């Protein structure tokens, strides 16, 4: 940024000195004195002009840095749209909601150093506690130095995008670039409508997508299956509840049948936190508070939907549930009265 205060002081000082020397110059009649004062005037002008030009040049460099950062943020947004497509963000009212990168939230990135942000991006370090877990390590974007597709410039661009969400970082570096995620919806609408529609669906229905309507059925069955097994509908490495999201009515009898090779529980989550789930046995819990009590292969767990479950989430009437042994196994019930 140009320091207008310093520039103004420099110019005023220059005018005062030059004016004073000119006054002395024209008040002299001796030619030798005039020549000497003329040399002093020239030297003063050159000496005082140097800091003024230096200030202006410094301002130009800072302005160029700002423009470069803004361009990097925009390019980072485009790379993010290309590589971060697995439930990395939702779109609500045409605005990005809850963006993550490699499973880490923007709040997390605000709390760590620049080196740590670059390490996560370059190394393809994925948050082990994230709700969504990629199917394999190859699905995580990483630097070409680690066998990935991201070039060194790409890492710089993604770094700029992530840092654009931190007002403190922008203020410290005197950057005026806006949050790069603000431009993502328009970019997707113009270049990747499928990704845009997916993000809108995620924003509307949550991480489990649109529920399958079973509200007219009095009794339904949900299978528990292994990853990759027929009927598998989730990304967990431990097992899947399928269908993963059902709309059911109060009074519906639900039976979970374990068709997987491992034992599991069917446990309601307290609140909406699926990243670090906590059991809510007051709604339902096949383990009845005992995590070692499993629904083993071939066994069943039956539950009748109650008004307590309907009222657990007063806004959307959703109940998330999980396996106590494998907390990355998640699913949802959407309940109607």
Residue 226 — left, alpha, or beta (φ > 0 → left; ψ -120 to 50 → alpha)?
beta
Distances in whole angstroms, Cα of residue 300 to Cα of each of 72, 232, 257: 54, 18, 5
Residue 130, number of CB atoms within 10 A of its CB: 17
What is the 8-class DSSP label of residue 323? -
Give how far the C-alpha of residue 8 lies from the chain's centroid of Cα atoms, to the nearest Å: 43
Give the C-alpha separation, 177 to 163, whole Å: 10
Contact 234, 241 (CB under 8 A): yes
Q: Which residues pair with 254 in a beta bridge?
A: 220, 303
* CA dihedral sign, ordered 303, 306, 312, 315: positive
pLDDT value at residue 13: 55
Give the C-alpha separation, 196 to 198, whole Å: 5
Give how far the C-alpha of residue 200 lies from the chain's centroid of Cα atoms, to the nearest Å: 16
Burial of 216 (0-12, 13-18, 19+ CB in 10 A): exposed
**N-to-C CA span, the chain:** 60
Stretches in the chain below the pLDDT threshold 50: 1-2, 32, 34
Q: Which residue ranges make up each domain of the chain?
A: 1-206, 212-336
Task: Say whether domain 212-336 belongs to CATH 3.20.20.410.
Answer: no
Q: Which of 263, 262, 293 is nearest to 279 (CA)?
A: 293
Whether the bond between 243 and the residue before it is cis, its omega within 30 degrees of 0, is yes
Contact 261, 232 (CB under 8 A): no
pTM assigned to the model: 0.60
Give the C-alpha separation, 215 to 334, whole Å: 9
Element (H, E) at 198: helix 193-205
What is the 8-class DSSP label of residue 10? H
pLDDT of 43-82, one tens digit each?
Answer: 565 566 666 556 555 555 667 788 899 999 999 999 999 9
pLDDT value at residue 163: 96
Distances in whole angstroms, Cα of residue 298 to Cα of each of 224, 231, 256: 10, 16, 10
Give the C-alpha separation, 149 to 160, whole Å: 18
Residue 218, number of CB atoms within 10 A of its CB: 10
**Half-sphere exposure in the Cβ direction for 19 (13 Å, CA):** 6
Give the C-alpha separation, 124 to 101, whole Å: 10
């Amino acid at each position: 940024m140009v320091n207008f205060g310093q520039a103004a002081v420099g110019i005023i000082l220059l005018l005062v000195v030059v004016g004073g020397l000119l006054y002395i110059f024209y008040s002299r009649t001796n030619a030798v004195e005039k020549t000497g004062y003329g040399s002093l005037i020239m030297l003063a002008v050159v000496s005082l002009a140097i800091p003024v030009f230096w200030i202006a040049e410094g301002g130009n460099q800072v302005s160029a840095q700002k423009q470069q950062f803004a361009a990097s943020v925009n390019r980072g947004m485009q790379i993010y749209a290309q590589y971060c497509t697995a439930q990395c963000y939702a779109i609500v009212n045409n605005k990005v909601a809850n963006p993550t990168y490699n499973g880490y939230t923007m709040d997390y990135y605000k709390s760590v150093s620049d080196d740590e942000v670059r390490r996560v991006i370059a190394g393809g370090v994925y948050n082990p506690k994230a709700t969504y877990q990629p199917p394999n390590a190859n699905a995580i974007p990483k630097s070409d130095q680690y066998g990935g597709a991201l070039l060194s410039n790409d890492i710089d661009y993604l770094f700029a995008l992530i840092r654009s969400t931190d007002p403190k970082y922008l203020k410290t570096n005197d950057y005026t670039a806006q949050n790069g995620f603000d431009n993502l919806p328009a970019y997707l609408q113009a270049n990747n409508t499928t990704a845009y529609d997916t993000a809108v669906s995620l924003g509307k229905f949550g991480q489990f997508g649109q529920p399958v309507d079973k509200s007219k059925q009095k009794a339904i069955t949900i299978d528990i299956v292994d990853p990759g097994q027929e009927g598998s509908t989730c990304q967990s490495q431990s097992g899947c509840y399928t269908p993963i999201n059902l709309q059911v009515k109060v009074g519906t009898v639900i039976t979970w049948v374990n068709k997987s090779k491992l034992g599991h529980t069917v446990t309601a989550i307290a609140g909406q936190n699926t990243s670090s789930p906590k059991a809510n046995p007051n709604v339902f819990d096949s383990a009845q508070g005992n995590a070692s009590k499993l629904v083993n292969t071939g066994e069943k767990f039956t539950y009748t939907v109650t008004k307590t479950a309907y009222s657990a989430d007063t806004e959307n009437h959703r109940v998330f549930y999980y396996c106590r042994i494998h907390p990355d196994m998640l699913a949802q019930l959407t309940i109607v009265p």
